[in-house]
Amino acid sequence: MPHDHHDHDNHLDPMEARTRALETILTRKGLVDPAAIDAIIETYAEKVGPRNGAQVVARAWDDPAFAEWLARDATAAISDMGFTGRQGEHMQAVFNTDTLHNMVVCTLCSCYPWPVLGLPPVWYKSPAYRSRAVIEPRAVLAEFGLTLPESTGIRVWDSTAELRYLVIPQRPANTDGFTRDALADLVTRESMIGTGLPRVPA
């Protein structure tokens, strides 16, 4: 069988073809503008990510008045830092303590605070995490390598289309005198979802 035909032939992935079809239909109807689509992609693929959330956490560690504001009105405190946009309209910050660990899930689909964390990782969107986080949080955390003392309570927050959560982990020990940037470098994405803890300084 000659093999040269397909070498010169383009074949679209079926999902790619359907997506192009939708974009053609919506553009013709004036419902979307291709330039606006490109701008949205650039924002979420390249600009917004968990470094934003890390700056919020670092400031909360460093500035008690800000931490208090964050606890009272996270939406306002976070937008004050310039992190605004879709899926960040209504935010709640949940603070870890010595006796309480918070973790976040979206059992419905994949609601997630985009302005501070970017788009969610694959595991956050997986049916396995979405169904098990509520039922057996301790076992799920153990799979992430996080084993908490039995005395530490776990509270699981179920995100909705209206309300998104940001976990504020506890400030690691031996970080006195750290600059805010140095503190932010310790804050991982997982620590802000509650499936991990911040890095400890070397």
Partner 1 sequence: MNPPENPFDAPWQAQAFAMTVALHQAGLFTWTEWAATLNKALQGAAPDGSDYYTCWLRALEAILTEKTATTPAEVDALAQRWQAAAHATPHGQPILLENAG
Residues forming the active site: 106, 109-111
Task: List the one residue from 1, 4, 9, 98 that touches partner 1 (CB under 8 A).
Answer: 9
Beta carbon nearer to partner 1, 118 or 169: 118
CB of 34 to partner 1, least distance (A): 10
Strand pairing category for 100-105 and 153-158? parallel
Task: List the one residue from 109, 139, 142, 200 that touches partner 1 (CB under 8 A).
Answer: 109
Encoded one letter per residue, x for contact with partner 1 by CB under 8 A and - for no contact, window 66-95 reads --------------------xx--------
Residues between 125 and 164 with contacts to partner 1, criterion CB under 8 A: 125-129, 160-162
Q: Residue 58: enclosing H or E segment and its boundaries?
A: helix 50-62
22 sits near partner 1 (criterion: CB under 8 A): yes
Beta carbon nearer to partner 1, 14 or 177: 14
Beta carbon nearer to partner 1, 5 or 150: 5
Task: List the one residue from 66, 95, 123, 144 that touches partner 1 (CB under 8 A).
Answer: 123
- Spatial CA neighbour of 68 closest among 196, 168, 182, 187: 168
Beta carbon nearer to partner 1, 96 or 166: 166
Three-state DSSP state, 93:
strand
Segment interacting with partner 1, rule: CB under 8 A, options 26-34, 143-151, 172-180, 192-200: 26-34
Instruction: Please write down the long-range contacts of 127-136, taking CB distance under 8 Å and 24 or more positions apart.
Output: 129/105, 130/105, 130/106, 131/107, 133/103, 133/105, 133/107, 134/105, 134/107, 134/158
Contact yes or no for 139/103 (Cβ under 8 A) = no
State the sign of the Cα–Cα–Cα–Cα dihedral 84, 125, 71, 142.
Answer: negative
Residues 6+ apart with CB under 8 A from 34: 23, 27
46 sits near partner 1 (criterion: CB under 8 A): yes
**Residues in a beta bridge with 168:** 95
Binding site for partner 1 (CB under 8 A): 7-26, 29, 31-33, 36-38, 40-41, 44-51, 86-87, 108-111, 118-129, 160-162, 185
